[in-house]
Structure 1
Amino acid sequence: MFFRVRVIGRENIPADGGVLLCSNHINNLDPPFLGAFLKRDTRYMAKSELFTKPVLKGLLPKLGAFPIRRGMSDRQALRTGLGLLKEEEMIGVFPEGTRSRTGELGKGLAGIGFFALRSRAEVVPAAITGSYKPFSRLTIVYGKPVNMEKLREEKVSAEEATEAIMEEIRGLLNRKPGKQ
């Protein structure tokens, strides 16, 4: 009601099967907005610190979020994510691992490439631009799925796969208004 949201590319979200929805991260409201305009439920990987906050620790699991410990290899989060993708769920992730204070796209973390290479999920890039200030324009663009099969065949590293995904997100952020 308070936001003017423009959604582009909703048709690029597969109706079924595992989906890794990868977006830039500019605000705490990104997770609910990224999934709110889609027909599928979106599960989110969220920093483990959020699961210790009084209100959020009960709410986040009910919303389908699962914790990840940042700054280290969190095997449990990786297993949970791969399991959800195998069960044909859609997981929303923010490859940078944290919000951008400047709005510029940062470096993606290798864990996203790991998920993309190890699962058979479709990898859909997304970009959020604009402002969350009331009555401002916010645009969410869902791009076409990234061809991960070629990268799997080439046996690229998780870092290289992450960079390919980040390039797609960068392209969505740099696209001209009105273009897909």
Structure 2
Amino acid sequence: MRRKRLPHREPTEDNKVWIERVTQRALGPSRAALMGVAPLSWSGRETLPDEPVLILSNHVSLFDPWFTITAAGKPIHYLATAAAMQQPVMGFVLRTWGSVPKRKFTVDAGAIRALKKWADLGASVGSYPEGERSWDGELLPLLPGIEALVRLLKLPVVPVRILNADRVLPRWASVRRHGRVEIQFGEARKFPRKAPPAEVRAWLEQSLRIDQRDEANHFPVRGVRLALGIENPLFRCPHCFAWDALSPQRNVASCMRCGASWRVNTHNELLAEGGGASSMTIVEARARIREATADNFFVNEHRFEREGLVAESQRAPLLNISGDQAEPMGMVRARLTREAVAFIDDAGRPRLTIPLRELMVASVELRRRLTFRTESELYELVLPTESPLKWRELTEHWRERAHAGDEA
């Protein structure tokens, strides 16, 4: 059972002073601690204004706030998911530096008010406009409303690019690698209150995007067991497109259906080994899977036509995590159809059914935690081995179709 949620620091003048004092004392030990994760370098820090700023960054790893605060040399009060703030290491770091817990993929007015209070106290604040960590280092679409946040806070905006974290700490990888991470601080820009939203968004996209093909944006990385976890972003074979078919062993991923195999390297490339496979990057493999799935968002065509079944999960624990304490709801299998996601127990009885038109979002939290949010409740399914990203993308596709049908 998940521990009771730990408190965060509220935006007050006393807490601001305490955090500033602790930050200055912690910078040296913080840099030393990060040497064991990823040696840190930075550029552009000299251009940071003395006044409070809004830091907006690409998001690749769980350590991104720690990297950026250490590189900036001053506190930054980040919006952070409640799940991240409960982690043993990063949770402590985020709470110590006054991060603001927020609900994921939904407008959290309370979190925005708290962030503005920090800004009104004269503190710098930060957010990740993508809303989640990238699975392959590519910049995700920016969330709606980031332009409104820029206008609301009235602070100079500093774009930050985090380089090489996609190779050192890939979101999907089971084993951490070792290599340098660089934080690049861009020039601050102050937007007028009536700045066109499209102008703000275009500037941010251009400022945060990293060309993954340019090796100048990367540094040497070393690691072992590089293929472990690759089945999370590549939940279909990029050669034959069989579902849940990749089997990773140390540095090699093989398809159990067609026999294609690839050696995974520290550049996040799949180098063809046999079975008719062709070499590609993980970014290219993800693009191939998206294209193959575009017209058939279901796992088994016969079951989809006969039962309307999109997917059925492996047996997994279901929890209600709406309150401060997680409430176990038993072992279930998730069954996704065009209309609902149901959670069926071992006796074949539904423990919970959520109509897709009532589902606000399905998202992936830390590790294999798949969450389902309704207007009033939050549920979590902890998948033992199955790709949570597969379930997120399938559920979101059919959820969006259900909502589009309601609006039609």
Q: Find the counterpart in structure 2 of residue 41 from structure 1.
A: 75
Change in Cα spacing, 1:147 to 1:176, as seen in structure 2 (3 Å) is: farther
Q: Find the counterpart in structure 2 of residue 164 from structure 1.
A: 203
Q: Aligned ranges for residues 1-180 of structure 1 at < 5 Å?
A: 1-2=35-36, 3-15=38-50, 17-51=51-85, 53=86, 55=88, 59=92, 60-130=94-164, 131-132=167-168, 135-149=178-192, 152-154=193-195, 156-157=196-197, 161-170=200-209, 173-174=210-211, 177=216
CA drift at 1:161: 2.6
CA drift at 1:129: 1.2
Change in Cα spacing, 1:167 to 1:11, as seen in structure 2 (3 Å) is: same
CA drift at 1:4: 3.2
Any gaps of 5 or more consecutive residues in structure 2? 1-34, 169-175, 218-408
Change in Cα spacing, 1:138 to 1:57, as seen in structure 2 (3 Å) is: closer
Deviation digits for residues 13-56 of structure 1 (CA, Å, limit 9, x no counterpart): 212x32111110111111100110223211111112334x3747
Aligned length: 170
CA drift at 1:127: 0.4
Deviation digits for residues 75-117 of structure 1 (CA, Å, limit 9, x no counterpart): 1011111221122211121110100001000111134322211
Change in Cα spacing, 1:54 to 1:104, as seen in structure 2 (3 Å) is: closer
Partner SS for 1:88 = coil
Report the TM-score when normalising by structure 2.
Answer: 0.38
Q: Is residue 62–residue 90 contact of structure 2 (8 Å, CA) maintained in 1?
A: no
Report the TM-score when normalising by structure 1.
Answer: 0.81
User: Which one has more relative contact order, counting CA pairs under 8 Å at least 6 apart?
Assistant: 1
Change in Cα spacing, 1:163 to 1:47, as seen in structure 2 (3 Å) is: farther
CA drift at 1:162: 3.5
Give the Cα–Cα distance (whole angstroms) in 1 for the partners of residues 112 and 75 of structure 2.
20
Give the Cα–Cα distance (whole angstroms) in 2 for the partners of residues 19 and 176 of structure 1.
30
Give the Cα–Cα distance (whole angstroms) in 2 for the partners of residues 35 and 5 of structure 1.
11
Partner SS for 2:83 = helix
* Paired letter, 1:12: T
Q: Is residue 12–residue 124 contact of structure 1 (8 Å, CA) maintained in 2?
A: no
CA drift at 1:125: 0.1
CA drift at 1:58: 7.4
Give the Cα–Cα distance (whole angstroms) in 2 for the partners of residues 137 and 93 of structure 1.
23
Give the Cα–Cα distance (whole angstroms) in 1 for the partners of residues 55 and 216 of structure 2.
21
Q: Which has the larger radius of gyration?
A: 2
Higher relative helix content: 1
CA drift at 1:137: 2.4
Give the Cα–Cα distance (whole angstroms) in 2 for the partners of residues 55 and 168 of structure 1.
32
Q: Is residue 18–residue 87 contact of structure 1 (8 Å, CA) maintained in 2?
A: no
Structure 1 vs Structure 2: percent identity of aligned residues? 26
* Paired letter, 2:116: L
Partner SS for 2:163 = strand
Q: Is residue 77–residue 99 contact of structure 2 (8 Å, CA) maintained in 1?
A: yes
Question: What is the CA RMSD across the aligned residues, in angstroms?
Answer: 2.6
Partner SS for 2:40 = strand
